[in-house]
Amino acid sequence: MRYGLKWLAGACTALALALPAQAETVRMTVSYYSAATGPYFEKMAADFHAANPSIDVKIEVVNWANLLQKLQTDISGGTNADLSIIGTRWLLDFVKDGIAEPLDPMMAPGFKERFIGPFLKPGQIGGKTYGLPVAASARAMFYNKAMLTKAGFPDGPKTWDDVVAAAEKIKADGGNGYGLMAKGTEVDVYFYYALWTHGGDVLDANQKAIFNSPAGVKALALYKSMLDRGLTEPAPTNYTRDELQNLFKQGRLGMMISGPFLMNQITKEAPTLDYGIIPVPVATRPATYAVTDSIVMFANSKVKPAAMKWLDFLFTPGPRIAFTKGEGFLPTTTEEAKDPAFTENARLKVFVSLLPNAQFAPTVTGWEDTAKAVTDAVQSVYLGTATPEAALNAAAAKANQSLGK
């Protein structure tokens, strides 16, 4: 009997000791950026597990187009993962519903200082950090060197007038000059490039729509006139960004605006294409769009310390450099930015040099509604059913119904 008790006590002690060593599982939803995304996170999870045998990281890769819908369904049903990559512009909705966990109290000393300030800022709301920038990109103009040299702009166009002049020459040779996209996501942003560089803004300081300003009308009228004069590919409403990029990779498009990820695609799919990267063309002021995706932790996670440990690992220079290089994004932490892969890449430097003039999507409710209203307006103008002024005014009225509410 006595022996039995002793044995039992011993077993209990052993069990108690063993408990903390039992694996905790951290689940993370990541968005599909490229074929490399899944393998990257799987490898990082394996490396992390080797160093922290008590923590298992499970990765789930979701297509970007379905990500928000999936999160919405998971969260409504309470089956969401512990961490997820999200578009930073969605963050406000998460914070308002108390779904995202503020990360500051869990951060190791100096953790926050690893990030490049402007990229961390969109993930902070009300002085608290909810989103850590995992992917960042800015936009610049890609141009086909052979086509533009023939058109008399060997260094690419500097202004919108240059773009029109070059596109006219390219058209005379039977090519597509400037690529316009009017299908899928970011149709609104493609219009904002012209809006910003004509001196306009999307929202004013009170978060009301002002993209229908004279600058906005001028910008959209410019796009529409280029379409009407045959200076773009035919029928932009049939082209998503991916489809425009395909035209560009095939050498059938003179100019388009896109992000650094297109460089990786060209290296892989069209290595012989001779192209250059220059700032977004200017009318009155330089501008570009910068965008970050963030990792958030869900408030209902039961393994927050373990999840934070994994985040800490992900944002060390080794994993960061591998990710940013593999996907073709911009560095989001200062240490990775020092890597020669980024400092010695002349093309990538163009994107970095544009950051001082970059516009981020504002943290405001109704941003998706605004994007939708502007997309509809742009499409109706290209289809010829509305004038730029009428379409933008209607879109502004529609956007104002949801903005800031």
Partner 1 sequence: MSPAGNHRWAALPWLLIAPSLIMAIGVIGYPFYEIIRLAVSDVSRFGQIRGFNGWDNFARVASDPIFVDALVRTLVWTITVVGGTILLSIPVALVLREDFWGRGLARTIIMLPWSIALSMAAIVWLWAFNADYGMINATLRQWGILAAPLQWMARPETAFPVEVGIGIIVSIPFTVTILLGGLSSIPGDLYEAARIDGARPWQSFLYMTLPMLGPFLNIAIVLNIIHVFNSFSIIWVMTQGGPDNRTHILVTYLYELSFYLGRPGPAAVVSLVVLAIVFSATAAYMWLRERDA
Gap between the Cα atoms of 32 and 104, Å rounded: 27
Of residues 10 and 184, the one with the C-beta less far from partner 1: 184
User: How many residues sit close enough to partner 1 to count as binding (CB under 8 A)?
Assistant: 29
Stretch that binds partner 1, among 65-73, 139-147, 204-212, 349-357 (CB under 8 A): 65-73
Gap between the Cα atoms of 212 and 182, Å rounded: 18
CB contact at 8 A, 231 and 164: yes
Residue appearing with tokens 């910068």: 290
Query: Looking at 6, 43, 96, 229, which residue binds partner 1 (CB under 8 A)?
Result: 96
Query: Looking at 76, 79, 206, 272, which residue binds partner 1 (CB under 8 A)?
Result: 76
**Which residues in the 166-195 window bind partner 1 by CB under 8 A?**
182-184
CB contact at 8 A, 244 and 233: yes
Of residues 100 and 278, the one with the C-beta less far from partner 1: 100
DSSP 323-381: HHHHHT-B--BHHHHTSHHHHT-HHHHHHHHHGGGEEEPP--TTHHHHHHHHHHHHHHH
Query: Looking at 24, 60, 168, 376, which residue binds partner 1 (CB under 8 A)?
Result: 376
Of residues 287 and 378, the one with the C-beta less far from partner 1: 378
Gap between the Cα atoms of 31 and 61, Å rounded: 6
Of residues 42 and 369, the one with the C-beta less far from partner 1: 369
**Which residues in the 379-398 window bind partner 1 by CB under 8 A?**
379-380, 382-383, 385
Q: Is 235 in the site for partner 1 (CB under 8 A)?
A: yes
Closest CA to 193 of 201, 203, 205: 201
104-111's contacts with Cβ under 8 Å and 24+ in sequence apart are 104/128, 104/129, 106/304, 106/305, 106/308, 107/308, 108/312, 111/312, 111/315
Query: Looking at 54, 72, 300, 316, which residue binds partner 1 (CB under 8 A)?
Result: 72
Query: Looking at 9, 97, 204, 225, which residue binds partner 1 (CB under 8 A)?
Result: 97
Of residues 207 and 375, the one with the C-beta less far from partner 1: 375
User: Cβ of 201: how many Cβ atoms within 10 Å?
Assistant: 17
The residues near 85 (Cβ < 8 Å, ≥ 6 apart) are: 29, 30, 31, 67, 134, 135, 293, 294, 295
Helix (H) or strand (E) holding 288: strand 288-297
Stretch that binds partner 1, among 81-89, 112-120, 150-158, 228-236 (CB under 8 A): 228-236
Q: Residue 294 has which token pair?
A: 């963030």
Stretch that binds partner 1, among 32-40, 95-103, 209-217, 264-272 (CB under 8 A): 95-103
Smallest gap from Cβ 376 to partner 1, in A, equals 5
Smallest gap from Cβ 360 to partner 1, in A, equals 20
Position 299: which residue type? Answer: A
Interface characters, 240-279, with partner 1 (x: CB under 8 A): -------x--------------------------------
Query: Looking at 68, 221, 299, 364, which residue binds partner 1 (CB under 8 A)?
Result: 68
Smallest gap from Cβ 97 to partner 1, in A, equals 5
Gap between the Cα atoms of 236 and 302, Å rounded: 47
Beta bridge partner(s), residue 27: 58
Smallest gap from Cβ 111 to partner 1, in A, equals 28
Stretch that binds partner 1, among 121-129, 135-143, 210-218, 373-381 (CB under 8 A): 373-381
Buried residues in 104-116 as b, exposed as e (16+ CB within 10 A)? eebbeeebeebbb
Query: Looking at 42, 47, 56, 93, which residue binds partner 1 (CB under 8 A)?
Result: 93
Of residues 22 and 76, the one with the C-beta less far from partner 1: 76
Q: Is 338 in the site for partner 1 (CB under 8 A)?
A: no
Q: CA 279 from chain center: how many Å?
A: 18
What is the length of the chain? 405
Of residues 136 and 371, the one with the C-beta less far from partner 1: 371
CB contact at 8 A, 114 and 338: no
Query: Looking at 128, 150, 372, 393, which residue binds partner 1 (CB under 8 A)?
Result: 372
Q: CA 122 from chain center: how many Å?
A: 12
Q: Which residues bind partner 1 (CB under 8 A)?
A: 68-69, 72, 75-76, 93-94, 96-97, 99, 182-184, 234-238, 247, 368-369, 372, 375-376, 379-380, 382-383, 385
